[in-house]
């Protein structure tokens, strides 16, 4: 058994929680800081320090990279469970990610002729390191608490605030550094955040985490009986698996639209948005912080709304449908922007920033309706012996969605053609989201039936529980 250290408490929680909070915050600072400038770096002209790629190639690579970000945790989680333990996996993953950031920050003049190969090496290290880091730190948060400890939900609320604080600060800092110095300096700024994350773990983990995460979980569970694992699935289990597969497929639609943020919408902010405010040109990468900022602001409000609704609170499939409606509203906002401000501007289109702010607001509200459902749904519905496999299916669908997001965004094209293509992309994604919302709503009662009591038949939620669910953003931010 993992021993919980006697290191005292802060704000009613073990101090180890705040170590994990800081570790995750700085890791997310690095990741989202790098992601905010990645596509902009790829399309920047060579004389401006970039690669000079076209939009399609940049967005295609972005989709492949973000797909890998959601695939590698499947292997990293297995390695931690069976070989390394969570603590070692986090340290090794953090070191690899820091190395990836710094390698991407090597000036082109030092690696002349090998710039692209060095860049790919940096991305590969980020993907591998993320696979080791991402699936394990959240597990350690739960291990700080004994079974049945009512503080656990509040702990995840605090932890996911750390995720979004890092997600908000990373693009602001790395984006600003990249704008005023150069792209490589922006990647180095992201890497510094990752180094702080690793150093915190190396120096403080033994004091505040004790033995938590040291021993691979597979070894800890060896004493559990493995009999009856080959028993056939019951009808109830099969129905619940149907729910997981159905909602996983619908999640592809949501994340395919939502993940336009770091790709297509990043280019849109850079090339077709008036970013001047009181004489200061806002870096395009700063818009990547809006999602995290809005989550910090609105997650408690959304949680309070569900709490006030009490028995009238929508079930999980209906919340899923509401999330898809908000996704469609985000794309409707961009359609209106192009229709009203693009008509006279032609190829020099510069829409108002308020349109992008509204776009990110609607998508964040959609995320708060839909994202908390995912991991919770799998953990509630999956048969114990298939839990890891079905969680892998959920992450696999998220990975597919990220690749599709890059593929769809790659149709943007260049110049005036890009504006025509953008309108088509926004109409297509918005229409698919709306149709999916209607279909999910029509299926909601059947899906609840297939859950066989898992939906709604549980102890009343505390407000902390709601906050924890609303802030559990995709695992995604995980």
Calculate mean pLDDT across residues 264-275.
Answer: 88
Alpha helices in 221-263 (DSSP H): 235-258
Over 90: is that where the pLDDT of 404 sits? yes
**pLDDT number for residue 303:** 78
Q: Are 295 and 434 in contact (CB under 8 A)?
A: no
Calculate mean pLDDT across residues 327-337.
Answer: 95
Over 70: is that where the pLDDT of 100 sits? yes
Q: Pairing mode, if any, of strands 280-281 and 276-277?
A: antiparallel
**pLDDT number for residue 431:** 96
- As given in the structure block, the two tokens for residue 295 are 């989550």
Q: What's the pLDDT tens digit per position in 219-251?
A: 766 645 454 455 677 888 888 889 888 988 999
**pLDDT number for residue 228:** 46
377 vs 87 pLDDT, higher one: 87
**pLDDT number for residue 200:** 93
Calculate mean pLDDT across residues 59-80.
Answer: 88
pLDDT-based confidence at residue 359 (cuts at 50, 70, 90): very high
223 vs 181 pLDDT, higher one: 181
User: Which of 99-103, 150-154, 220-224, 343-347 shows the highest mean pLDDT?
Assistant: 99-103
**pLDDT number for residue 342:** 61
Over 50: is that where the pLDDT of 405 sits? yes
Reduced to 3 states (helix: H, G, I; strand: E, B; else coil), residue 215 is coil
Calculate mean pLDDT across residues 434-447.
Answer: 94
Which of 32-41, 71-80, 207-216 bottoms out in mean pLDDT, i.e. has the lowest? 207-216
**pLDDT number for residue 5:** 60
92 vs 12 pLDDT, higher one: 92
Over 70: is that where the pLDDT of 32 sits? yes
Q: What's the pLDDT tens digit per position in 311-326?
A: 888 888 899 999 999 9
Which of 333-342, 343-352, 426-435 bottoms out in mean pLDDT, i.e. has the lowest? 343-352
d(CA 45, CA 450): 54
Calculate mean pLDDT across residues 195-221.
Answer: 82
417 vs 253 pLDDT, higher one: 253
Residues of the chain with pLDDT > 90, as a percent, come to 42
Task: Count each helix (H run) and each strand (E run) in the chain, helices first.
Answer: 16, 6
Over 80: is that where the pLDDT of 471 sits? no
Q: Are 93 and 297 in contact (CB under 8 A)?
A: no
Greatest distance between any 2 Cα atoms in the chain: 71
**pLDDT number for residue 379:** 66
Q: What's the pLDDT tens digit per position in 363-392?
A: 999 988 887 777 667 767 877 667 666 777
State the CB neighbour count (10 A cutoff) for residue 311: 5
**pLDDT number for residue 387:** 65
User: Which of 16-25, 181-190, 392-401 shows the highest mean pLDDT?
Assistant: 181-190
Q: Are 54 and 43 in contact (CB under 8 A)?
A: yes
Q: What's the pLDDT tens digit per position in 104-124?
A: 999 998 988 899 999 999 999
Closest CA to 175 of 164, 162, 191, 189: 189
Q: What is the pTM of this model?
A: 0.82
**pLDDT number for residue 385:** 65
Question: At a CB cut-off of 8 Å and minimum separation 6, what does 332 contact?
Answer: 426, 430
Residues of the chain with pLDDT > 70, as a percent, come to 84
**pLDDT number for residue 46:** 85
Alpha helices in 230-372 (DSSP H): 235-258, 264-271, 290-309, 316-345, 353-370
392 vs 420 pLDDT, higher one: 420
**pLDDT number for residue 474:** 42
- As given in the structure block, the two tokens for residue 34 are 């790098």
d(CA 154, CA 10): 13
């Amino acid at each position: 058994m993992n021993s919980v250290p006697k290191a005292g408490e802060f704000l009613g929680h073990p101090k180890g929680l705040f170590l994990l909070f800081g570790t995750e915050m700085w890791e997310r600072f690095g990741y989202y800081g790098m992601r905010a400038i990645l596509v902009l770096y790829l399309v920047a002209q060579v004389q401006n320090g970039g690669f000079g790629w076209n939009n399609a190639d940049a967005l295609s690579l972005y989709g492949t990279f973000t797909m890998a970000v959601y695939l590698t945790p499947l292997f990293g989680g297995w390695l931690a469970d069976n070989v390394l333990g969570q603590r070692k996996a986090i340290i090794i993953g953090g070191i690899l990610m820091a190395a990836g950031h710094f390698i991407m920050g090597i000036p082109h003049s030092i690696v002349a002729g090998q710039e692209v190969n060095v860049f790919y090496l940096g991305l590969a290290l980020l993907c591998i390191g993320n696979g080791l880091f991402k699936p394990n730190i959240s597990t350690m948060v739960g291990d700080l608490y004994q079974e049945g400890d009512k503080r656990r939900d509040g702990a995840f609320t605090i932890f996911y605030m750390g995720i979004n604080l890092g997600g908000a600060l990373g693009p602001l800092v790395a984006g600003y550094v990249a704008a005023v110095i150069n792209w490589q300096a922006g990647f180095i700024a992201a890497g510094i955040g990752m180094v702080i994350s690793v150093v915190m773990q190396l120096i403080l983990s033994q004091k505040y985490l004790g033995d938590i995460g040291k021993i691979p979980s597979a070894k800890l569970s060896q004493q559990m009986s493995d009999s009856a694992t080959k028993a056939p699935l019951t009808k109830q289990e099969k129905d619940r698996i149907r729910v997981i597969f159905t909602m996983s497929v619908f999640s592809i639609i949501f994340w395919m639209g939502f993940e336009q943020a770091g790709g297509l919408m990043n280019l849109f902010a850079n090339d077709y948005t008036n970013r001047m405010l009181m004489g200061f040109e806002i870096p395009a990468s700063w818009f990547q912080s809006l999602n995290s900022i809005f989550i910090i602001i609105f997650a408690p409000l959304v949680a309070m709304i569900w709490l006030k609704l009490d028995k009238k609170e929508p079930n999980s499939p209906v919340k899923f449908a509401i999330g898809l409606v908000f996704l469609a509203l985000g794309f409707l906002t961009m359609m209106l922007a192009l229709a009203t401000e693009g008509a006279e501007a032609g190829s020099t289109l510069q829409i108002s920033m308020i349109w992008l702010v509204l776009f990110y607001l609607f998508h964040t509200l959609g995320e708060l309706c839909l994202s908390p459902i995912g991991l919770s749904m799998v953990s509630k519905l999956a048969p114990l012996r298939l839990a890891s496999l079905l969680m892998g299916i959920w992450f696999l669908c998220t990975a597919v969605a990220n690749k599709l997001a890059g593929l769809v965004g790659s149709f943007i094209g260049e110049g005036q053609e890009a504006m025509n293509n953008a309108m088509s992309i926004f109409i297509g994604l918005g229409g698919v989201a709306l149709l999916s919302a209607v279909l999910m709503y029509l299926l909601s009662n059947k899906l609840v039936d297939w859950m066989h009591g898992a939906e709604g038949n549980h102890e009343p939620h505390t407000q902390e529980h709601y906050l924890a669910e609303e802030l559990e953003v995709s695992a995604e931010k995980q």
